């Protein structure tokens, strides 16, 4: 921690062999000139004085801090230090910057030496009392741990996206991003998730996901996911069980870009996906496409072995004070395995969120406000897949709080679809852990994206284990 944040005030006692009234102030920016002007010392700088140096001068000139100084006036690139008695000033080089040294012209009397020693003892006692008060305050209300560094990576089966939108339908209802850890460790992760959803009229879905990721070489990451799902569609259709898998290989380029290739497989389809992320200052540009990817977001999609082709690009921006935004778009095609097209059209994604990293409310509560747009302008509806045109605007407000090693979150909001239907959005989440283990539970409700508008109730949980360095 740099000492330029405060004055380095040295009032040496008489028995140390130095002048006890000597005053030193350590500065970041060296003055270009020191001009004595009667009972003042004028410091000229090459630029307006910085906040740290201004604070250092102010602390040294405060009443009782130094027997030589009697006030401070700041004038842009100049600082005027009033002198309580005749003194000389000079600059000396120090390892931490440049020191302004002020010494009286005449030798100090015995009474002045004793007063200087008493003043130094009082200042040190005040600093000790202030430090004790701060320590007690930290013990009573410890600050949250600093956020882990955010390495650039592409979210995968075992490392869900931190900005993944809330699942408004069956999509992601059973996947790992229900309160799963958002930052992968340097070594790897293994994750087991269970989930279910119910949409009324006999439509239900349940499933189990096992995924893992590891970093065999610096900059290289491999991941896999195996998922089994069961579904009962409305209308008296019998239950259907199926399994699918993913394997991906990703590489980080000098911490500024990442590329991932994923192979996808289902009972009646095999596909692939290619994604790339490029950091652009505070923003990240993501682009990618998928071909013949199994699409099981709805019970009918699972029953009919539906597939989805698409290409999307999005710009994610992380701003100050917890602000973040996303804007993206692309094209999607839904079909059945074998090449038959059911529906296709452009897609749009947008979002704006505010979530301060530290508690901003009493009782350690952290607020969160978010707006999201999820739109797919499909040319024709595909009722046999429960896919349709939609333009859903969602507004959410939530509160989060730490409970020891756990984090609790409650979110409520409203979703409105311009093409029909609206309803409440709500979820409760509890997740956390210690050491290499994490676990979480979540339950919520949201409007359906299916052809028949109805609320979707969902819930689930996960257990994750991190290994490696």
- Which residue would you say has higher pLDDT here, 222 or 39? 222
Ordered DSSP codes for 230-264: EEE-TTTPPPEEEEEEEEEEEEEETTTEEEEEEEE
Nearest to 396 by CA among 431, 367, 356: 367
Query: pLDDT class for 165, splitting at 50, 70, 90?
Result: very low
Contacts of 85 (CB under 8 A, 6+ apart): 67, 68, 104, 106
Note the pLDDT tens digit of each residue in 279-293. 898 899 999 999 988
Predicted pLDDT of residue 162: 27
Complete domains list, the chain, with CATH: 3-140 (2.60.40), 188-467 (2.40.160)
Note the pLDDT tens digit of each residue in 353-363. 998 877 677 88
Phi-psi map region of 339: left, alpha, beta (phi>0 left; psi -120 to 50 alpha): left
Nearest to 336 by CA among 239, 246, 237, 269: 269
Note the pLDDT tens digit of each residue in 389-424. 788 899 999 998 888 888 899 999 998 888 877 888
Predicted pLDDT of residue 274: 93
Task: Say yes or no to pLDDT of 311 above 90.
Answer: yes
Note the pLDDT tens digit of each residue in 30-57. 887 787 666 788 888 888 888 888 888 8
Note the pLDDT tens digit of each residue in 316-346. 998 888 899 999 999 998 887 766 777 889 9
Q: Which helix (H) or strand (E) holds 129?
A: helix 110-140
What average pLDDT does range 96-108 have in this prediction? Answer: 75
- Phi and psi at 16, nearest 5°, equal -85, -5
Other C-beta atoms lying within 10 Å of the C-beta of residue 164: 15
């Amino acid at each position: 921690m740099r000492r330029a944040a405060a004055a380095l005030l040295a009032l040496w006692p008489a028995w140390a062999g130095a002048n006890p009234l000597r005053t030193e102030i350590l500065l970041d920016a060296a003055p270009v000139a020191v001009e004595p002007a009667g009972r003042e010392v004028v410091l000229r700088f090459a630029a307006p004085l910085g906040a740290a140096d201004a604070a250092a001068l102010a602390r040294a000139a405060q009443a009782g801090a130094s027997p030589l100084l009697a006030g401070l006036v700041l004038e842009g690139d100049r600082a005027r230090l009033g002198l309580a008695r005749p003194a000389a000033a000079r600059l000396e080089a120090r390892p931490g910057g440049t020191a302004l040294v002020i010494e009286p012209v005449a030798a100090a009397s015995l009474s002045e030496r004793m007063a200087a020693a008493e003043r130094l003892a009082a200042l040190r006692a005040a600093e000790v009392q202030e430090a004790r008060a701060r320590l007690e305050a930290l013990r009573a209300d410890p600050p949250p741990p600093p956020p882990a560094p955010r390495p650039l990576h592409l979210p995968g089966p075992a490392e869900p996206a931190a900005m993944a939108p809330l699942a408004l339908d069956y999509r992601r209802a059973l996947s790992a991003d229900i309160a799963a850890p958002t930052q992968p460790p340097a070594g790897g992760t293994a994750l087991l998730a269970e989930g279910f959803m119910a949409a009324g009229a006999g439509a239900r879905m349940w499933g189990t996901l096992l995924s893992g990721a590891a970093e065999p070489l610096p900059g290289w990451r491999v991941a896999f996911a195996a998922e089994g799902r069961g579904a009962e569609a409305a209308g008296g259709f019998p239950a259907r069980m199926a399994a699918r898998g993913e394997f991906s290989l990703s590489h980080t380029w000098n911490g500024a870009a990442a590329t991932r290739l994923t192979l996808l497989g289902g009972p009646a389809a095999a596909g692939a996906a290619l994604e790339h992320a490029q950091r652009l200052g505070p923003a990240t540009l993501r682009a990618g496409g998928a071909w013949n990817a199994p699409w099981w977001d709805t019970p009918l999609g699972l029953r009919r072995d539906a597939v989805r082709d698409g290409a999307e690009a999005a710009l994610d921006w992380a701003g100050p004070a917890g602000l973040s935004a996303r804007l993206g778009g692309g094209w999607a095609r839904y079909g059945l395995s074998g090449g038959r097209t059911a529906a296709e059209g452009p897609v749009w994604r947008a979002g704006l969120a505010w979530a301060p990293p530290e508690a901003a409310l009493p009782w350690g509560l952290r607020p969160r406000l978010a707006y999201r747009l999820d739109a797919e302008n499909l040319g024709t509806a595909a009722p046999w897949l429960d896919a349709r045109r939609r333009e859903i605007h969602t507004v959410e407000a939530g509160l989060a709080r730490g409970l020891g090693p756990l984090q609790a979150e409650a979110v409520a909001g409203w979703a409105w679809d311009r093409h029909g239907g609206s309803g409440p959005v709500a979820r409760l989440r509890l997740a956390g852990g210690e050491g290499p283990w994490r676990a979480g539970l979540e339950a919520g409700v949201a409007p359906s994206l299916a052809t028949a508008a109805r609320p979707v109730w969902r819930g689930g949980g996960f257990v994750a284990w991190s290994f490696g360095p």
